[in-house]
Amino acid sequence: MAANNLHSDLVQPRIALGPVMPGWGSWEWLGADLQEELVSWFSTVLFDLGEMPNADAVFVVKHALPTEYWQTASRAPVIYCPVDRYGSVAEIDADADWLSRCARIVVHCNRLRKYFASYGAVKFLDHHVKFAGKPQSVNIPDGPILWVGVRTNLPPFVDWVNTHDLQRPLIVLTNPENPSLPMRPADYGFNTGIDIRMEVWSTERHLQLLPQVSAAIDIKGTDFRSQHKPPAKAIDFLAAGVPLAMNGDSSVADHLAEMGFTVADPEDQGYWLSAEYWEETRRFGAVLAELLSRRRVAMRARRIIEDVLAEHRTFRGAVPRLERIAS
């Protein structure tokens, strides 16, 4: 009988994941997607915001558990993923009581390690490749350039575009406050006369455009949150074989450099839009697609969970099944 058979009679540790936040990228990536893989090794349950989960270990994404949780006799160790949670060091320090109670703090950006180290054991976990589809098979020298992101991340990019001349038309995929209204570039701060088409982001449209664009671009801001972003979006572009350019002082550029890839400078459009860089992207992207597949990232998450269970010896036994904790 296979070890990951969910109908096995073997008793598995019970792992609660939450809080469930449909539509939030952090939850979809680190909660919903990982849960679908973790059922191979654990009995998994999901919990909502404000609930107090009953499990052998709790995997918390972004939003802290209620204070009352720590007053319950049956509380289990917590693995906390504060992805994009904090906008400053002061906000992290203000959460010292919560952070110091966590068995593991799992960061998405290596620059964050030093801010959490005094509160507990810190681990790094990459996001898995998610929005990539089938990688480009040929270079597309005349295609548009693609920017993807939430509208709150637009200002530094808009400032950059307004002061630089792109050699290709630009497509901006984002989440307007009112998707039913026309998206006029000027309303988002873009100067007139720039060849820009703005569209409402969706998974389908994102994946549809990847084989059609010649390149992708991202410009990170200088605020704390922007300087500690996960490399997920960049990794997806590279895994899709789309040549990416971004500012070299970002945490994402640092992370890619540590992995052996030098991301193109958007001001060096000759190299960024070259066949040479496309080929380098294609080769490295194929490695990323394998190294950061959902299954492989879930296996790393599994090891973190198993280490916590072993340290705290909290495993009491549970039936291996997916269920939802009742409110």
The SS3 assignment for 216 reads strand
Six-digit token pair at 128? 């898995």
Q: Give tens-digit pLDDT for 254-281.
A: 999 999 999 999 999 999 999 999 999 9
pLDDT-derived band of residue 55, with 50, 70 and 90 as boundaries?
very high
Pairwise CA distance, residues 67 & 78, whole Å: 13
Q: How many CB atoms lie within 10 A of CB 159?
A: 13
Backbone angles phi, psi at 127, to 5 degrees: -75, 150
The single residue listed with the structure tokens 């959460």 is: 95
**Residues 158, 262 within the same domain:** yes
**Residues 299, 282 within the same domain:** no
Tell me which amino acid residue 67 is. Answer: T
**300 has a pLDDT exceeding 80:** yes
Q: Which helix (H) or strand (E) holds 106?
A: strand 104-107
Q: Give tens-digit pLDDT for 176-219.
A: 989 989 999 999 999 999 999 999 999 999 999 999 999 999 99
Quick one: DSSP state of residue 31? Answer: I
**Residues 201, 170 within the same domain:** yes
H helix intervals, 119-180: 154-162
The SS3 assignment for 169 reads coil
Domain count, the chain: 2
Does the residue 1 lie in any domain? Answer: no
**Residues 99, 171 within the same domain:** no
Does the residue 113 lie in any domain? Answer: yes
Q: Give tens-digit pLDDT for 152-177.
A: 999 999 999 999 999 999 999 999 98
Pairwise CA distance, residues 321 & 327, whole Å: 18
**Residues 271, 152 within the same domain:** yes
**Residues 269, 298 within the same domain:** no
Verdict on whether the full-model pTM lies above 0.85:
yes
Pairwise CA distance, residues 213 & 265, whole Å: 18
Expressed as residue numbers, the domain containing 40 is 14-128+294-324
Does the residue 76 lie in any domain? Answer: yes
**Residues 262, 149 within the same domain:** yes
